[in-house]
Structure 1
């Protein structure tokens, strides 16, 4: 067959297959030919080829298929784009199924009545892919690939349902009565997976009804699954939905559309949970509430994505290896020595019953003998409970014994001889008879992570059965004392959070609040802990700092309609520049700029060169210069350390401190302070608006092209406060920081605050320019961002017209004054083309940023004695400035109840959504709006700003936190409390009961007093972008 002729034919009808780019690879030599170039090839191929379609994964075509392509080229290409299995194989299942999903989604979204004949073909393609996925899942592939394939199978099933509904609507079936949620079984990916299903959304627009219908189907499915397995089930859910970026203009145009999924935590379904009410409660608490919280957090914190379309809810049901407790097991000798646990030597499998009997009827002696206790079945209701006891039967047992509550603990082995007690099951409410049980096992392995107390097996293959045994914890304090404190006195232990108290009264007060956080382990600071200023090394000036900026070509995006994301503009970096500023030797300062497709790669190489060149200055300090007579006199007369500003005592060693970069003497210092007074081997790299824009273009290359670790400080998934690159081949790291987080104004405004003499870096770097040219550069120029859409634009020899500077993002033109400035710059600098103009614009931006931030640093160092270049943001800098200036030592709370007490008082800002309406009526209005017959009224709108700033400038608590005694509490009255001065040496944090008079309800209904932080009943969830949203 003449492949050249065939491919020419394919090329001629390329538009029929949506401008698909086809590449043909010679299987022997590996060379790739594109259609445009293959016309010149007339070689007769006697072997198969590999087609790569639209950048997707390669698909192998045997020689037979190449010949068949001659007859029906379009169908073959469509089949390829849909990932149909050819020759019984797929070169890469995951990539091919992804390709298939794209085409199927495109078919569904662009469906019209003329496509009805294609529905059976599409359905067959889906079935073929589902069979391929099922076959792959049964093979030996990684867990990650299994999960990926299972997720794609869910999407396949969803589109199978949706496309099937299209066929029914054409056939005339009534869709009005169709279910809006449908369950579809999926291929099982794991051996412990009992069932995987997907709840497909077929019509719900809001979350509440979707979850309601999903809950009904879930309950029905679980009730059918459970009887087939003699064990509880572990279940989790994955919610999938489509989100959109909010509109940025008055036309409400959507910027982007993307799918996100949210995975819930596992929860167990026990035999006692099979009634409808219990299953509904489990679904609502573990799925609905959890997902609602996640979705609200995601919308508020993750860069403005808004829920647009509900897609599906995937259900994963797994079997659980039960914890059974049976016959007698000896206590570990370390636990037995504490004499805190009663271990009954039973010969049957009812250790659970005997442990409860020992707790409810403790004997005077022989506590380990069965004969010392009443028979467990005579004192408790064990109807329907089988032995050995398993945890899934516990809810049923407690329901049958309403006056009994049980906590169960286990042991983990920290070292060879050290065991740690951890909670396994905590009862939600303490009853009249409360028992703490210890569940021990036959053998213990040393745990690497003692925080992980999940006793169910998490592996895909069930482990061999482990024997367990129940004992009664007679004294919890004795059992856990050694893991909490070395205090030998009497302790009262909270059996929820395992914190201890010195009196039973304190424990009882604590338990009231601890119920709210009983699933959270709280680690408190050690007694005597304080926060104070100790980062004295930040008083130095960072020796090196890099200022950067980049420019992009803003291209019209060639949108692939089969993708989920609607993309508006594509930004490709076309140039990048930096200025390396050295504070002690200006000869080391330099400016560099690169324009071209590989400019980011060039930038990474420049950073490597900088790190290699500058590490010598960090690791090889300059020797101290000899002190002058005057300096020697000052050193001998000094009484305070110039670093910590504390006095020299007789026990202190006084030394001379010098700059390691210049050798200059800086002052007298404590020897210990001098040893710690080192400049971090860190070079800050500043971009203006790094978080919102520049970081996205450089982080991948910084992470991959340069050897070394990258650490992130993210604000959310799409914005970084900073990231740090540790250079593997040099003892230096680069910290990328956003200057906008220190100075939240445009560079143009910031530059306008400086005088001409303040632009020292710009003037020294461009010293060859005259003052007129330099003054032009001290004002930020204008740039035709959206006009610069291709590399050819750089060769244009004239400044674009003013209309070409229009910004669709800002929806505005530049002013006549700004355009006149651009023309003046073009003329004064004798610019020959737009490339030179772009380079000059970028260079001025970088140098302006360098001068602006250098002036900011100088003022901060002069005023606050700390260099902001060492910090990430202005709030972090001001916090350290406060600690340094005030010299305050803030005591940290070490009492868990104090922390809970204070946390209950945290309010935050009041959020409300309301429509305000008031109409004025007075003589100064026109006749149409003034009604003399009605009372005269005026409108005044008042608002108080900076409430947090005002509060933080008042007297704040410092130390000596303590609970008030009973006598002191009784002496407090409303009058004495209100008469406490705002500047009093001692203040109070009070918990009070307030009555809200009925007559104030209507007056205060718009903004009630004394608000508190809580979740309201029910949820109000907006499905699309919030316009003019008040928060």
Structure 2
């Protein structure tokens, strides 16, 4: 995050206070406030030219918009009192935000200065849009690919009649791209484009957003960002020959037009097919006489397609393109798919004049500057006469009749099967679906990760949080800019400590220094990768072991004739490692990769270095993106050395603050810090093993580094966190200053940065060592904890998970994926029982307890159950008929074969009162009056509901009626994952410190996350550093699957492309089964235990959240329930000799229910909505408050239980700003 707008709220509050309390006596202060605002605006504008992320620039521009609004209002007040004519001041303003490649790519922002309604804001924005487009277009005289991003402030309302707000936050909404051609430059045409692509689209999105579970409502309009790309844009025009490989299929009619209307001629050829001379225009009627082309510009662009189809309501069109896999292999992929087939349906092929081989594009993930000329990308439309013939060779080698799904491009053997498939496919698929080859499995095969990574770099940086000073008025701008002032790294070598080293650089060129260091490191270390050390001679004991060995130490499989047994050794030390298959030995090489770990790299540090890494060092960059601005990782392949650097976020392995992680280690565990700083005494070293404190906001200039005294405690205040450091933390800082004889803040900063880097090195090294010892794989080879634990699981269990190869099975499983249930059932409850303080207990009223129950590691329990493994088959009609309720009820939970079914279920009315708190069978459905689907728990009957058989058994036992089984898959199942879950549970129970306990809990939880990995969500991001030529910005932006882009600086873009095809190579059925089975545990506890303990009027469910249940119980002693049923509960969190006489047992046993508060008494409960609740506890002044979407420190510091209660009862508004 390049900017922290920590002072903005204070400034705006001051200005707002002046405006709201303005009177005649305030007129003299108007110039002062106008000067302050002007100074801020000038410096913000100056900062917008700096190399910042677009998100940061957008945030700054929004701040400027708020200041502009106050400037207008205060100016008008001053003129009104002075008797001046106010006139009409502009209520919107344009600001340039960022440009790249000589302004061919530009982003500007329309800032709202006073509009209260969307209609008036969009009306004024349209006028600015028209002006700017007419100004931009002539500069390059080429089409503009354009989209918008709308930004507004939303409030979080409570669910009462007054709809009062609990919090404020900004959200952005991105529109789709559309094309502006020279024929669109009239005012009427541009206005129409604006209305179609901004107003209509955004109004729909906003309506959908406010309907969703987010609970946010529009409060204030901030801005509308305009992204403009002036490119030699793809459009369809004059004739282009089909590739020869496509021509020979005789599946496509390519009309040889000599105008720019190939789209029209292709449609004419499809609607009025010719038998002779099929490539001649004369064979077809004139396209404009058979179809409505009013207002459609030629050459045709895809963004005009929706308008064209509206004008021709009986026509539907799918558009396909080609990707080139090899020199002679072209694959057809969807570009545009219609949602509904009309009476006249046409499939078109959009070809281009040349194709790059896909692998070449992937290998050039970063396009660098070159002198290649800028070339227009020309496209051409043809009619696909026979889609089956066009795609057959990419689907099968068979010669039988195929029925092709024109969405996912899979084939079926009969029209009935195709029709059944299309019911699901049209709901989710927008691109070509690739399935694995039959017989494909997921299993452990990355044996090279059993080695220890030879080199690893730990890194951190510090920034100056600088104020800007205006020369004209000397008024301080009320925001902060982060500029890197120092960077440090520790290079850790695992086989030769003499190669390890620590380096630090402070100064304005520290990032350049760091890139130079990386080049030096790559040049120095590549020799260790490419020149392996010869094996040391084996001693007698080693030779004896080698001769006797019959197993490969790498794959752990037997070495059987005719397999060749060889000696494996470490290429860095020469040490003998064991016997191995010759094939395994050849593959058992350490990747030429050096990981560089930053803590919180994805969220902060990556912004400061990616530009320099991409541009300053020769070699390509590949991204593992979360989105265009946040990266899980990126890798730099060094051009001049056989080494690549992988930048990784250690927070994605250990998701806690470095301070917390350091606190888990003992002094002896800080081996790297102690060896690197061996010249220090133990007292000094111990000071450095505790993460220090740093006055981030105080360090706002280079001159501060020369100050010779530690700043006062108040200077360590964090406006971002809205908190001071503690007296203990400040005492630690003073102690560090004194014990290290610190001469100035520069030395203190260096010491702080050095300790951070070395602490990170020790923390992650301890993490690595524990993981390698217990799980045999090195985390340094991985990107995230989920990826690491998944491979550990595969290695430990030796499981082989079959991959689904039937596309309908995959769609079937996807339909069954539903997340955890979150439901607010009762808004308020107050406890009244004998354990409360005297004043809070009224013995004349019924005794009432509020109990917050939490299931111990619910997903860990579900992962320990029988899960799908292999042998997936559709059941025949005969077997479907045999699936009677009795047969399903008699199927054991641990049966050899399991089932996933698609059923119709009747929910009898007599069950409604009993089941109204949490009905069975949650489903994604659209609530009344809404347009968007949500996960709902309803008492409705279910139709074609996909369900795991264990959930269906539970439903039938609870009284639901099975009416029909439409389809079902059976499969082999076993508890194949249980050994790994038990391993981590056992290691956690044996752990002697918090670090290890958290580690093994993380490995189980993260493993579940990996089972839910959905390839549909993977992103394609390209970094480009040039405009023209192959793989430049123009090439990618011109592609039909261009999605969006972000500007880093004048010569660096991140471009996102939509996927045109995906490969389903993940066992998603595992995640689906875990989610479904986990629900059975929660329903079982509620219906088969709690409801059996209480009558309906004495038990009330207040709230449910996936693995938690909050109850109101009317009884003398709720803890007696736990004592009497101790086998169901984990009571290990209760104190010894607790007042409830509950024994401590079942500690951390998976699937046990526990008292979340460990015996503390809840006195009051209030819940406004899901993820929005608060409660009070006896003998504590600290209210517990939860508010999804709001930062924890804001909730903790600025909200109370009473705020929630007021919003529920009194209609009092409570707003909390969140930047």
Q: TM-score, normalised by structure 2?
A: 0.56
Write the distance in 2 (CA, Å) between the matches of 1:1028 and 1:448: 52
Alignment of 1:810-959 (within 5 A): 810-912=721-823, 916-922=827-833, 935-944=846-855, 946-959=857-870
Per the alignment, in what secondary structure is the counterpart of residue 516 of structure 1? helix
Offset, 1:587: 1.4
| Aligned pair partner of 1:184 in 127, 130, 134 | 127
Task: State the shift of 1:962 in Å.
Answer: 1.3
Establish whether residue 264 from structure 1 lines up as the match of residue 176 from structure 2: yes
Give the counterpart of 1:1030 among 1174, 1188, 1192.
Answer: 1188
Counterpart selection for 1:645 from 551, 556, 564: 556
8 Å contact kept, 2:334–2:430: no
Deviation per CA, 1:219-264: give whole Å up to 9, x if none: xxxxxxxxxxxxxx99976343356999xxxxx999998x967332
Match of 1:683 in 2: 594
The equivalent of 1:201 in structure 2 is: none
TM-aligned CA deviation for residue 486 of structure 1: 0.8
**Shift in Å at residue 884 of structure 1?**
1.1
Give me the whole-angstrom Cα distance separating, in 2, the residues matched to 1:765 and 1:321. 57
Relative contact order (alpha carbons < 8 A, sep ≥ 6): 1 or 2 greater?
2
Conserved? CA contact 2:175–2:198, under 8 Å: no
Question: Which residue does 2:151 correspond to in 1?
Answer: 241
Among candidates 95, 98, 112, match of residue 76 of structure 2: 112
Count of residues in correspondence between the two structures: 840
User: Cα offset for 1:653?
Assistant: 2.5
Residues 518-577 of structure 1 deviation map (CA, whole Å, 9 limit, x = unaligned):
643222222222222121111111111222333444444558999xx9954444444433
Residue 31 of structure 1 is matched in structure 2 by none
Q: Distance in 2 between matches of 1:469 and 1:784?
A: 65
Residues 893, 899 of structure 1: 8 Å contact kept: yes
Give the SS at the match of 1:941. Answer: strand
**Alignment check: 8 A CA contact 2:404 2:412 kept:** yes
Aligned residue runs from structure 1 range 216-255, under 5 A: 238-242=148-152
Structure 2 CA distance for partners of 1:915 and 1:337, relative to 1, 3 Å? same
Number of the residue aligned with 1:490: 401
Higher gyration radius (CA) = 1
1-side partners of 2:104 and 2:1186: how far apart?
Answer: 44
Gap change, CA 1:510 and 1:757, over 3 Å in 2: same
Which structure 2 residues correspond to residues 140-155 of structure 1 after superposition, within 5 A?
145=103, 148=106
- CA distance in structure 2 between the partners assigned to 1:399 and 1:724 by the alignment: 46
User: In the alignment, does 2:670 pair up with 1:765?
Assistant: no
What is the rounded CA distance, in whole Å, between the counterparts of 2:267 and 2:520 in structure 1? 73
Residue 971 of structure 1, CA deviation: 0.6
Q: How does 1:312-461 map to 2 (within 5 A)?
A: 428-429=339-340, 448=356
CA distance in 2, matches of 1:577, 1:663: 32
CA 400–872 in structure 1, closer or farther in 2 if over 3 Å, else same: closer
Q: Decide which of 525, 532, 539 is 1:628's aligned counterpart.
A: 539
**Contact 1:382/1:397 (8 A) holds in 2:** no
- Do the aligned residues in 1 keep the contact of 2:155 with 2:219 (CA within 8 Å)? no
Query: How many Å apart are 1:1020 and its aligned residue?
Result: 12
Specify whether residues 674 and 295 from structure 1 end up closer, same or farther in structure 2 by C-alpha distance, changes over 3 A only: farther
Q: Matched residue of 1:960: which SS?
A: strand
Could you say which residue in structure 2 is the equivalent of 1:578?
Answer: 489
Q: For the residues of structure 1 that align with 2:488 and 2:305, how far apart are their CA atoms?
A: 67
Partner of 2:893: 982
Separation in structure 2 between the aligned mates of residue 264 and residue 543 of structure 1, nearest angstrom = 46
Do structure 1's residue 548 and structure 2's residue 491 form an aligned pair?
Answer: no
Aligned residues of 2:331 and 2:391 also touching (Cα < 8 A): yes
Give the Cα–Cα distance (whole angstroms) in 1 for the partners of residues 466 and 797 of structure 2: 53
Partner Cα separation in structure 1 for residue 201 and residue 589 of structure 2: 51
Counterpart for residue 655 of structure 1: 566
1:620 positional shift? 1.8
Alpha carbons of 1:245 and 1:638: their partners in 2 closer, same or farther (altered >3 Å)? farther
TM-score normalised by length of structure 1: 0.65
Deviation at 1:724, TM superposition (A): 2.6
Verify the 8 A CA contact 2:333 2:432 in the aligned structure 1: no
In the TM superposition, what is the alpha-carbon distance from 1:702 to its structure 2 partner?
3.5
Deviation at residue 700 of structure 1 after TM alignment: 3.7
Aligned 8 A contact 2:149 2:175 in 1: yes
Contact 2:552–2:581 at 8 Å: present in 1 too? yes
The structural deviation recorded for 1:873 is 1.7
The alpha carbon displacement at 1:1018 in A equals 3.9
Note if contact 2:467-2:477 (Cα within 8 Å) is conserved in structure 1: no
Which stretch has the larger CA shift, 658-667 or 757-766?
A: 757-766
Aligned-pair CA distance for 1:625: 1.7
CA distance in 2, matches of 1:290, 1:176: 13
Distance across 2 between alignment mates of 1:284 and 1:901 = 37
Secondary structure of the equivalent of 1:538?
helix
Post-superposition Cα deviations, 1:454-479, rounded to whole Å, max 9, x if no partner, equal xxxxxx9999998x8979x5x75445
Alpha-carbon offset, residue 897 of structure 1:
0.6
Report how far residue 903 of structure 1 moved.
Answer: 0.7
CA spacing shift, 1:936–1:493, aligned 2, 3 Å: same
- Report deviation, 1:908: 1.8
How far 1:898 moved relative to its partner? 0.8
Deviation at 1:1001, TM superposition (A): 4.4
Looking at structure 2, the residues matched to 893 and 693 of structure 1 have their Cα atoms a distance apart, in angstroms, of 39
Separation in structure 2 between the aligned mates of residue 875 and residue 384 of structure 1, nearest angstrom: 53
Q: Following the alignment from structure 2 to structure 1, what is the Cα–Cα distance between the partners of residues 251 and 119?
A: 64
**Residue 538 in 1 paired to residue 449 in 2?**
yes
Number of the residue aligned with 1:208? none
The match for 1:666 among 574, 577, 582 is 577
**Residue of structure 2 aligned with 1:780, choices 691, 697, 710:** 691
Is this contact kept in 2: 1:241–1:308, CA < 8 A?
no
CA shift in 2, pair 1:770/1:622, >3 Å: same
Structure holding more strand per residue: 2
The match for 1:221 is: none
What's the offset of the Cα at 1:859? 1.5
Residue 872 of structure 2 is matched in structure 1 by 961
* Corresponding residue of 2:621: 710
Alignment of 1:473-488 (within 5 A): 473=385, 477-478=388-389, 480-488=391-399
Q: CA deviation at 1:978?
A: 3.0
The 3-state SS of whatever aligns with 2:921 is coil
CA distance in 1, matches of 2:32, 2:337: 66
Larger CA deviation: 544-553 vs 113-122? 113-122
Alignment partner, residue 200 of structure 1: none
Where 1:988 maps in the other structure, the secondary structure is: strand
Q: Matches of 1:658 and 1:886 in 2, distance apart?
A: 26
Structure 1 alignment gaps of length 5 or more: 1-12, 22-52, 59-80, 82-96, 134-140, 167-174, 195-232, 247-251, 360-365, 371-375, 453-459
Deviations 1:954-981 (A, max 9, x none): 2221211111111111111223223322
1:881 positional shift: 0.6
- Rounded to whole Å, the distance in 2 between the matches of 1:723 and 1:340 is 42
Does the 8 A contact of 1:191 with 1:461 survive in 2? Answer: no
Contact 1:267 1:286 in 2 (8 A): no
Measured in 2, the distance between the counterparts of 1:621 and 1:778 equals: 37
CA displacement at 1:864 relative to structure 2: 0.9
CA deviation string 1:714-750 (max 9, x = no partner): 3345543323333333322222222222223333333
Report if the CA contact (8 A) 2:154-2:217 is conserved.
yes
2:663 matched to 1:720? no
Shift of 1:383: 11
Counterpart in the other structure of 2:1100: none
Over aligned residues, Cα RMSD in angstroms? Answer: 6.4
